[in-house]
Amino acid sequence: MPVWMMRQAGRYLPEYREIRAKQGFLELCKTPELAVEVSLQPFRRLGVDAVIVFSDILIPAEAMGLPLELGDAGPHLPNPVRSKADVERLRAFDPEVETGFLPEAIRRIVKSVGAEVPVLGFAGAPWTLACYMVEGRTKEGFATVKQFLYEEPRTFRELLHRIAQATIPYLKAQFAAGAAAVQLFDTWCGELNLQDYQESALPAVQEVISEISGSVPVIYYTKASQHLLPAAARSGANVLSVDWRVELGEVRAAVGPKIALQGNVDPAVLLGPHERIRNVTLDTVNALAGRGHILNLGHGILPNTPVKNAQLFVETGQQALLQDLRPAAHSR
């Protein structure tokens, strides 16, 4: 049972904040030596079992032709996609040319950590990337996106198709550079009801995964998606990553034994006392008896998390595997 954390390179680490004081977020993503350094910081500090390359899910949106602003206030795409003409202007891109900094960072990380440490690549799933591309920023409910979907379903599905077709070579470039696995982030799929998910978001995910399946393991992350999990398990992914809103045992019962699970400690637990962090982590491990499970948070680590608490989470998970710790279940 390996353990790593989403957003494990970030503002909770003082060494990351030191670099960010001198560099903008987007510049950090696009400068391989800096991306490598911040990718490796949690590996050195926490001893996690995998390194995920430092980047952002909106990098492909910029490469497809949308101006992109990234900062601490969140993403901003000032020219959002709102029409058929906007969709048709989106372009395919060569990931080794327009986004060559990312595979280069992966190559350097792999060289640094060696073959024994998995390096993870990632991308945004088509629906989640479309949410940002249409809204222009994060907005609760994504009403503009849904209006586009309902009023112009063919055009919206063409948008998802174009994103999928751009994502496939983008991910292929990452595992060609040495990524041992890739994760698709579908952070906003939970905003959809089951029918809309099955008719729009899921086929686009399946389009991506079907083209890369068999090359490296694929992790599919969904959030606030309890109503979607049996459908999400049909994505073709090797691993389904879930948030903290549902117990892992319930997820296993819903999706069956053929797909591994990742997650799902509430990131806010790492703000609490050490005893609770340890108990919740062990409960999460015990939920699946450590089998078919990647221990992770249910979303990204929070910026105000004490480093020692993040270390405790990682160490507890690793010790549970090594020492077969199986105490009686604790209440979350």
Q: Which of 12, 16, 132, 220 is catalytic?
A: 132
**Is 7 noted as a catalytic residue in this protein?**
yes
Q: If you search the block for the tokens 């089998």, which residue do you land on?
A: 291
Q: Which of 11, 107, 157, 276 is catalytic?
A: 11
Q: 41 burial class (0-12, 13-18, 19+ CB within 10 angstroms)?
A: buried
The alpha-helical segments, DSSP class H, found in the chain are 14-20, 25-30, 32-46, 59-63, 84-89, 101-113, 126-135, 143-151, 153-176, 194-196, 202-212, 229-232, 248-255, 274-287, 307-323
Q: Which of 20, 45, 252, 278 is catalytic?
A: 20
Q: What SS3 class is residue 263? A: strand
The C-alpha atoms of residue 230 and residue 171 are separated, in whole angstroms, by 25
Token code pair at residue 296: 């992770």
**Per-residue DSSP letters for 26-93?**
HHHHH-HHHHHHHHHHHHHHH--S-EEPP--TTHHHHHTT---EEETTEEE-SS---SHHHHHH----
**Is 11 noted as a catalytic residue in this protein?**
yes
**Is 283 noted as a catalytic residue in this protein?**
no
Token code pair at residue 245: 């809103």
Using an 8 Å Cβ cutoff, are 24 and 316 in contact? no
**Is 94 noted as a catalytic residue in this protein?**
no
Q: Which of 49, 56, 266, 283 is catalytic?
A: 56
Q: Please report which helix (H) or strand (E) contains residue 184, including its range.
A: strand 181-186
Instruction: Please list, in sequence order, all residues whose beta carbon lies within 8 angstroms of the beta carbon of residue 235, skipping any fewer than 6 positions away.
Output: 202, 205, 206, 209, 220
**Is 45 noted as a catalytic residue in this protein?**
no
Using an 8 Å Cβ cutoff, are 232 and 201 in contact? no
State the catalytic residues: 7, 11, 20, 56, 132
